[in-house]
Amino acid sequence: MLSVDSAPAPEAAVNDQQLPDLRKLTVSEPTPVTVETIPAISGEPPAPTAAPIATAHVHPDGPKVSAPFQFGSRLLLSEDEVFTFNAWDHVETDPAYKAYSAAQYASQRSKPVSASDKKRFMSDPAKWWDLFYKNNKENFFKDRKWLQQEFPILAEATREGAGDVVMVELGCGAGNTLFPVLKQNVNEGFRIVGCDFSAKAVEVVRAQPLYKEHVERGRVRAEVYDLSEPDTLPVGVEEGTVDVVIMVFVFSALAPEQWSAALGNVRRMLKKGGKVLFRDYGRGDLAQVRFKAGRYLDENFYVRGDGTRVYFFEQWELRKIFTGEAGETEEVNYKTENGEIKEREKKPVVEEQVPQEEEETQEEPITTVEKTKEEQQQTFPEGDFGGFVAREMGVDRRLLVNRKRQLKMYRCWMQAVFEKL
């Protein structure tokens, strides 16, 4: 959608298509890369959880993982145990699933959204988010209590005596981030502004008793705001006054041509050294793979069944947007200190291809070979990008399993902390 909205729509695309029988797929050896927790197949992706489901599968060289950007410690050490538990951390998709995904992408491209529907979904995105919140209100998503584990700055900003802190949440939705932060706050100098593109979402937030209690004390406001509108700021937010911007499942609602304007607004509201706390969908997530015909808007960009839009990012795209440099095309998990990479893990990105087989019943040929990273970078939208340094970046990968049906479901999210230069 054209602006900020917090979370995926009801289907979250994962219910958009019947999942094939993947019970014969194999699971690759676990890699020590950052991974993400898997959402319940409908609704918003859940938080990264540190506590392993099976303590027997915790990494043998250390204790349970609970540090930020570690994304769990439920390691799948043997393929024979894949259906023993409900979820595994740090699991890479195997070649068979990669081939299936590539075939799905090719099929999606061959049957895109019709021109008339594309115009309808792109011209008035607010309409679809208002309908979403009208139908779901505050009962659809769970509170994001996990945020303070992944982003410790939230705990620092809300502790007693932390001093004056101004925070803006872009895409506040029904308040699933805003209210948990408010509940934890004991800092008299803390202020938070929740912004959303949907007037209905803001209405839901303002109706909550906790909002009414804190708004009277001057600690919270909720405002309608279109993040994609160039050179704008939310009501009551002045240029260069914000310490922290929260962007959780927000940027994916924007069309690529809106990224530059949105970033410019974020850059404008932040102080020098201000932080962006970012989490969103990654390319190859089950939600993307399962889209069926008539949902494809553009490369990695789709419309859900409820009319809301979603983009699936690659890590280099986020580096390009926020730092101005795409950097390496491998996925990299790292922290930086004084601009220098402090810790880093790399895993090569495998170009996804499917076997070159043709079906006689196929009416039109489908191109199955994925674009190279160089080709993708050539189509990156123009605009004023950069102005940030990436302090932490991670790719959160998880394997969810349906033990009863013996199905494997791969999830992927991007997470980062960016700092304004």
Residue 410 has pLDDT above 50, yes or no: yes
pLDDT of residue 76: 86
- pLDDT, position 357: 35
Cα 161 to Cα 37: distance, rounded to the nearest angstrom: 33
Res. 213: pLDDT tops 70: yes
pLDDT class of 45 with cuts at 50, 70, 90: low
**Structural domains of the chain, ranges and CATH numbers in brackets:** 115-280+308-324+385-396+411-420 (3.40.50.150)
For the chain, helix, strand, coil in percent to 5 are: 25, 25, 50
Q: What integer best gives the mean pLDDT of the chain?
A: 78
CB-neighbour burial class of residue 415 (10 A; exposed 0-12, middle 13-18, buried 19+): buried
Q: Which of 58-67, 71-80, 298-307, 334-343 has the lowest mean pLDDT?
A: 58-67
Percent of the chain with pLDDT over 70: 70
Highest mean pLDDT among 1-15, 32-46, 333-347, 383-397: 383-397
The span from the CA of 318 to the CA of 328, in Å, is 12
